[in-house]
Amino acid sequence: MKNPRFTIITVCYNAEKYIEETIRSVLNQKYSDYEYIIKDGKSSDGTLDLVHSLLDPNENICIVSSKDDGIFDAMNEAVSLARGEYVYFLNAGDSFCDSDVLQNVDLYIRQNPKVEIAYGNIILLDNTCRRMRIYGEICSKKIYAVSGDCICHQAMFARRELFDEKRFDLHYRACADREWQFHFIKKKKIFGCMKFTVAIFRVEGFCTSHMAEYEEETLQCVEKNYDRYIVLGYKVIARMKESRILRQVLRLCGRLLFHKPV
């Protein structure tokens, strides 16, 4: 049986509030050469009932419900089942921005066959506004790590073989996807900037409620993967953020460079 072009993975736990929106954004894709894996962490609400009402398991749809040790453990478990050429994580609460996304990504990859990790822009959605997060060419360069930021996994399509080489390191509860990405930037894997919007990302969840742990792990990720000059640059900016005024200035600069209203 021919392996699909894409594996789309949704991990969820007690996500009945948002899971239907996520699933429908996948089913509405015009491009159909994909498999879809739902990894549920033994939800106690109506998540699984809703999933089964929308999806019928078959050779290209896999629904798994089992205990796991958090989001990155669930993502590792799901990727072990993946057959697609490229893997993409669209977790509960996230959705494709329109029905053309997979079609556009496939075209980009055909035009850029050496790309190992393709990434686009995302729309950030919170309780007050929607704004586009723009990931330019610099976002896949090691110098960008001085900001402590990275390309979020909702923006990236990665070759499945990269997950055979390295899974998410469960030592990091908040930043395992960041550490995974930094590792492959350090190894000079080929990143491709697609310059179009991929997904809508709902800004809530673990990292927004564990900021101290998030900052501590980000420093660990930078120290593990980059030279002392990048680490020093990151520490300088982190120190600047301790000042309320400088933090606001940095935030404004980031908004001007990497955000725009939608």
Residue 126 has pLDDT above 90, yes or no: no
Which pLDDT score, from 0 to 100, does residue 256 have? 84
Separation between Cα atoms, residue 141 and residue 123, nearest integer Å: 22
In the structure encoding, which two tokens stand for residue 82, read together? Answer: 């993946």
Residue 209 has pLDDT above 80, yes or no: no
CA-wise closest residue to 175 among 160, 192, 153, 191 = 153
In single-letter form, the type of residue at position 52 comes to H
Check if the beta carbon of residue 65 is closer than 8 Å to that of residue 89: no
Check if the beta carbon of residue 145 is closer than 8 Å to that of residue 175: no
Strands (E) in 43-190, as ranges, are 61-65, 86-89, 95-96, 117-125, 130-133, 156-159
Distances (CA, A) of 12 to 60, 129, 163, 170, 209: 19, 24, 20, 17, 18
Segment 145-150 mean pLDDT:
92
Residue 137 has pLDDT above 90, yes or no: yes
Which pLDDT score, from 0 to 100, does residue 158 have? 98
Within 13 Å and on the Cβ side, how many CA atoms surround 33? 13
Which pLDDT score, from 0 to 100, does residue 199 have? 97
CA-wise closest residue to 122 among 170, 78, 88, 156 = 156
Residue 241 has pLDDT above 90, yes or no: no
Q: What percent of the chain has pLDDT over 90?
A: 82
Which pLDDT score, from 0 to 100, does residue 132 have? 93
**Coil vs helix vs strand at 2:** coil
Looking at per-residue confidence, does 255 or 58 come out higher? 58
In single-letter form, the type of residue at position 176 comes to A
Segment 118-135 mean pLDDT:
89
Residue 205 has pLDDT above 70, yes or no: no
Q: DSSP class of residue 3?
A: P
Which helix (H) or strand (E) segment holds residue 194: the answer is strand 191-202
Separation between Cα atoms, residue 97 and residue 43, nearest integer Å: 26
Asked which of 16-30, 82-96, 154-168, 235-249 is least confident by mean pLDDT, the reply is 235-249
For the stretch 149-201, pLDDT in tens is 999 999 999 999 999 999 999 999 999 999 999 999 999 999 999 999 999 99
Which pLDDT score, from 0 to 100, does residue 169 have? 97
Under the banding of pLDDT at 50, 70 and 90, the label for residue 76 is very high
Q: Token match 């900001």: residue?
A: 147
Asked which of 49-58, 191-200, 212-221 is least confident by mean pLDDT, the reply is 212-221
Which is it for the CA torsion 199, 124, 238, 255, positive or negative?
A: positive
Residue 1 has pLDDT above 70, yes or no: no
Q: What percent of the chain has pLDDT over 70?
A: 96
Residue 210 has pLDDT above 70, yes or no: no
Which pLDDT score, from 0 to 100, does residue 128 have? 67
Mean model confidence pLDDT for the chain: 93
Which is it for the CA torsion 229, 212, 183, 171, positive or negative?
A: positive
Which pLDDT score, from 0 to 100, does residue 61 have? 96
